[in-house]
Structure formats: structure tokens, C-alpha cells
Amino acid sequence: MTARSDPLINLQLQQVNTPQSIRCVPEKYRLSAKVYDALQREDEKEVIKLCEDFEEHGLHILTIHDDTVLQAATYAKKPDLVLRLQDLPDRHLVKLTRQNLYGNTILHETAISNGAIEVARKVLEKAPGLLCMRNNLGETALFRTARYGKQDMYDFLAKKISGYDKANQKVFLQRRDKTTILHIAILSEHFG
């Protein structure tokens, strides 16, 4: 039996090939591919220009893992680009708390780089709730800094919770599986 003679496959082909999907879907992916390519080439001006074509600007979902352009720029260790992409219309600020498939937010991704403290500062000014958000492993951004051994970022984020009482600090210092920051620092050999 060929694919063309199977009525279920023909039905699926008809649904995929509607005039609207032919026009919209490829354009969206073509533009995302251009942004990704510009990131790979480290062409920050092109990334910013292309993001202007997205309704969500730097919060456009770029990867199959639901990473935004901001998160991808963070992975690429481009803090200046991330800062420039954060200039968002007010209606999008609530989307700064968007999580990827692993539950990581822009702050989780920023937390693994000592060179991105200014990014973390700006992100927290716009969305302070990011500080207490957990990823799928039950880690806050502060917890991730310990796991990756980023002392400067750890110090910055630890100051943010220093005024909290012990019970509220526990959220930041222990994952849901009861692993503590001390455990993870030792397991990842970041204890100096």
C-alpha cells in the first residue's frame, strides 16, 4: 500500500497543506532559522533587526525545546545582546517568566554565567518573581549557580534572598528531592 492510497495519510496531507499553513508556517520557521543563523554568526545587529519582525520580539520561541531568543543569546554568552533584546513592549513583560521544556527561565540560564550579572539585575527588575521559580529539577536560579560553580553570580543572587527568614530561604537552598546547595556543590566539585 502506497502513502497516497492510505486515506488517513491523505487526510493528514490535506490538513497540513491548507493555504494558510503553506503561507504562515514556512515563513515563521524561515525567520526563526535566520535568527538562529545570525546568533551562530554572532551578528547581534541582525538578531535585533530580525526580532523586530516577531510579535514577541526577544521572547519569540526559537528552538524545539521552547527556548526563547533571549535564552539562546544567553547560551551564546552574549550578555550585551540579551540586555538589548530585553527592551520589550510592556505587554510582553509578563512573558519574561516563560519556561522552556526543562523548566528553565531566562534567569536560570543567566545564572550559569558570571559575566551576566547585569542581565540578571535587569531581568529581576522587570520580573522579580523569576527569583523563586523552579525548573523541572526543582532548582531555582540560585541553586543552579552553585551547581555550575558561578561564585560571582551566586553572591549576587544570595544577596537577593538574604533578608528572607530561614523557612523562605529553604526554597532557594534545596531542591524538591531534598538535595541541598551544599550537596550539589560537592557533587559537581564546585566547593572552593
Backbone dihedral angles phi then psi of residue 162, each to the nearest 5 degrees:
-60, -25
SS3 call for 178: coil
Residue-number span of the structural domain to which 103 is assigned = 3-187
Does residue 192 lie within any of the structural domains? no
Mean pLDDT, 10 residues at a time, over the chain (192 residues)? 43 41 61 90 93 88 91 89 83 85 95 93 93 96 94 96 90 92 88 64
Does residue 170 lie within any of the structural domains? yes
Q: Which CATH number fits the domain that encloses residue 14?
A: 1.25.40.20
Residues with Cβ < 8 Å from 164, sequence gap 6 or more? 172
Element (H, E) at 45: helix 44-51
Does residue 157 lie within any of the structural domains? yes
Looking at this protein, which amino acid is placed at residue 73?
A
- Predicted local confidence at residue 94, as pLDDT: 80
Answer for the pair 114, 143: CB distance below 8 angstroms, yes or no. no
In angstroms, the CA 59 to CA 105 distance is 11
Residues with Cβ < 8 Å from 122, sequence gap 6 or more? 83, 86
In angstroms, the CA 116 to CA 184 distance is 22
Distance of CA 115 to the CA centre of its chain: 17
In angstroms, the CA 63 to CA 75 distance is 12
- Predicted local confidence at residue 92, as pLDDT: 76
In angstroms, the CA 109 to CA 90 distance is 22
CA dist list (Å): 87 to 94, 111, 186: 13, 20, 38
- Predicted local confidence at residue 88, as pLDDT: 74
- Predicted local confidence at residue 167, as pLDDT: 87
Model confidence pLDDT, tens digit, residues 21-45: 445 556 777 888 899 999 999 999 9
Q: Provide the number of structural domains found in the chain.
A: 1
Q: What is the pTM of this model?
A: 0.78
- Predicted local confidence at residue 3, as pLDDT: 44
Does residue 93 lie within any of the structural domains? yes
